[in-house]
Chains A and B, each alone.
Chain A
């Protein structure tokens, strides 16, 4: 029997989902500390209701709890993201190129900051966490088509912002 109340099942749910929950809340609100809290809160709630939540529903339950925690409560802050350090791989790049890269990343940062929350979350869940549209749709409780729409708009807006159109 796969029961969320079993420590093994629960800990495996924790290990495979906690980072995504953290990221998910961070994308939405840009608050690292609150994202950490949201992970804890969501899992406490899941534990308290472990008998009522089917293992296959645990994931969407966690995202719903985490999201509802700060919905309409927390004011979104600036989402600060880093970039994988590529300087080691490209040591032979020209300083000009590196400069361009740096500028591009600043533009991207700014553009991401300007995105509507749902587009940013969808975009980053896909780009950073490698989540499929269907998974994001489940997390957000919307249709896959709606996620595709957000993704499309996110890409379009980002490109326009970066290219200065």
Chain B
């Protein structure tokens, strides 16, 4: 008889011969009886549906994890992240300011939401919040620009050097490295520079060069000269004049043996480089040599 023959027999795996042999044993009747009776054994009641309900209820009460029965959970997770990103970027983009800028030798006109106008001179940048415009008329400026402000609430131009506040007027703000100039052409402009507040009536201008303040009150033109393609200066150190020249013609300026601090009063044309060079060099008594993409100013006869 093979190993574990009782198990084989119970499973009907015994061969004919083995079965016959097993039937001959005296214990066969006992095993047969055992097989029959054990087949009628029953376990305590177990209600599958009731167990299932218990399981589901348990899930909703004690096991928050079982909420994962919702097959959308994965999807919701992703959707939540996307929603956060979308709304976040929406608010972020909305909070960004409108921004306009000009390159070298370029000029641009910007119309503000209240029809105020900004005319940007070369290499300048303005930015403002279109969303908040109705609450606060505030413009950030780098470089130089002329403002025609429509009447309304206080209009503020913020620059690194100082702020300019007006109600409704026309004025020019120039804000370059170490150089801050505000010229009022119409109305009244309030300039705050290093905590000093200055009221500029029409026809006056405020100039601060490296912290040194100068006032001029003989402005007779109706708009800044650069708007009529000229750059005008009144007792301005030559280096700022040359810097403006660089901006207007997008050309590199080199100097040799000249006093860049000497004051310059005059105007140069923004359209003709030849004329402009003459306008700068003759009053300053310096010479120049025009190269392909640069110009050299020098003192005396030879560079």
Q: Footprint of B on A, CB under 8 Å?
A: 5-7, 10-11, 14-15, 18-19, 22-23, 26-27, 32, 35-36, 39-40, 43-44, 47-48, 50, 80-84, 86, 104-105, 108, 123-124, 126-128, 132-133, 145, 147-149, 151-152, 155-156, 158-159, 162-163
A73–B52 Cα gap in the complex (Å)? 26
Say whether A81 contacts B31, CB under 8 Å: no
Interchain CB contact under 8 A, B30 and A163: yes
Q: Determine whether the beta carbon of A14 is less than 8 Å from that of B10.
A: no
B window 1-58: CB within 8 A of A: 3-8, 10-11, 27, 30-31, 33-34, 37-44, 46, 48, 51-52, 54-55, 58
Near A by CB (< 8 A), chain B positions 38-92 give 38-44, 46, 48, 51-52, 54-55, 58-59, 63, 65-66, 68-69, 71
A148 in contact with B41 given A11-B52, A43-B55, A155-B34 (CB within 8 Å): no
A36 to B26, CA, bound (A): 42
Number of interchain pairs (Cβ within 8 Å): 121
C-alpha spacing A155/B31, complex, angstroms: 7
- Prevailing SS type, chain A contact patch: helix
What is the CA–CA distance of A105 and B37 in the complex, to the nearest angstrom?
8
Is there contact, CB below 8 Å, between B41 and A151?
no
Residues of chain B lying within 8 A (CB to CB) of residue A84: 40-42
Evaluate whether A40 and B51 lie within 8 angstroms (CB atoms) in the complex, with A47-B65, A127-B39, A148-B4 already known: yes
Which residues on B sit within 8 Å (CB–CB) of A11?
A: 52
Query: In chain A, what residue has the closest Cβ to B30?
Result: A159
Known contacts A7-B69, A7-B71, A127-B41, A47 near B6 by CB under 8 Å: no
**Which chain B residue has the least Cβ–Cβ distance from A151?**
B7
Partner of B40, one of A39, A83, A149: A83
When the two chains form their complex, are residues A48 and B65 in contact, meaning their CB atoms are under 8 A apart?
A: yes
Question: Which interface residue of A47, A104, A155, A159 has the most chain B CB atoms within 10 A?
Answer: A155
- Minimum distance in angstroms from A138 CB to a CB of chain B: 16
Closest to A122 in B: B7
Contact partner of B10 (CB less than 8 A), chosen from A26, A86, A104, A126, is A126
Q: How large is the interface on B (under 10, 10 to 19, 20 to 34, 35 or more residues)?
A: 35 or more
Contacts A22-B46, A39-B51, A123-B38 given; indicate if A44 touches B7 (C-beta within 8 A): no
In the assembled complex, which residues on chain B have CB atoms less than 8 Å from the CB atom of A39?
46, 51, 55
Query: Cβ of A155 and Cβ of B43 under 8 Å apart?
Result: no
Question: Of A6, A81, A128, A155, which contacts B7 at CB under 8 A?
Answer: A155
Q: Looking across the interface, which residue of chain B has its beta carbon closest to that of A16?
A: B48
Contact B71 A5 (CB under 8 A): yes
B6 in complex: contacting residue of A133, A145, A151, CB < 8 Å: A151
Q: Do A124 and B55 form a contact, CB below 8 Å, given A104-B33, A155-B31?
A: no
Contact partner, B41, options A32, A82, A145, A155, Cβ 8 Å: A82
24 contacts between A and B (CB under 8 A): A11-B52, A14-B48, A22-B46, A23-B43, A26-B44, A27-B43, A36-B46, A39-B51, A39-B55, A40-B54, A44-B63, A47-B66, A47-B68, A82-B42, A104-B33, A105-B37, A108-B34, A124-B41, A133-B11, A152-B4, A152-B6, A155-B6, A155-B7, A155-B31
Docked complex Cα distance between A147 and B65 (Å) = 37
In the complex, which residues of chain A have a beta carbon less than 8 angstroms from the beta carbon of B66?
A: 44, 47
- Nearest-neighbour CB distance to chain B for A157, whole angstroms, equals 10
Q: Are B54 and A156 in contact (CB under 8 A)?
A: no
If A18-B46, A47-B59, A148-B8 touch, does A104 touch B37 (CB 8 Å cutoff)? yes
Q: Are B55 and A14 in contact (CB under 8 A)?
A: yes
In the complex, how many angstroms separate the beta carbon of B40 from the nearest chain A beta carbon?
Answer: 4
